[in-house]
């Protein structure tokens, strides 16, 4: 499975890891909905850590799309809220 960390690189990860990312992602969404910034930050950082630690960097000359795109690591809480309320990182 190919995962991209937006504004950084693409990584190749085992499919099992995707399940873990899925869980974290759901919890992160819940944290944003609960307006719990510290919790969100913690979960988001854990997602990034897993991808960077367990992932293998996709070669520079490889041309492939990503199955999952994780938002930029410098994502602010306000931006995360926008993501979930439908505004997204890119304004309409």
Interacting residues toward another protein by CB under 8 A: 4, 6-8, 21-22, 25-26, 29, 60-66, 68-72, 74, 83-84, 88-90
Residue closer to another protein by CB (options 21, 31) is 21
Measured in whole angstroms, the distance separating CA 19 from the mean position of its chain's CA atoms is 13
- Give the 3-state secondary structure of residue 12: strand
Q: What is the dihedral sign for C-alpha 18, 22, 28, 33? A: positive
Tokens 């499919």 belong to 15
CB of 43 to another protein, least distance (A): 12
CB of 63 to another protein, least distance (A): 4
The one-character DSSP state at 8 is S
CB of 83 to another protein, least distance (A): 6
The one-character DSSP state at 68 is E
């Amino acid at each position: 499975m190919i995962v991209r960390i937006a504004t950084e690189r693409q990584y190749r990860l085992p499919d099992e890891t995707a399940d873990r990312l899925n869980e974290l992602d759901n919890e992160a969404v819940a944290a944003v909905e609960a307006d719990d910034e510290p919790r969100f930050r913690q979960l988001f950082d854990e997602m990034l850590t897993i991808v960077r630690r367990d992932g293998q960097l996709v070669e520079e000359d490889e041309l492939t799309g990503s199955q999952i795109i994780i938002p930029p690591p410098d994502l602010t809480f306000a931006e995360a809220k926008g993501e979930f309320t439908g505004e997204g990182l890119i304004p309409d």
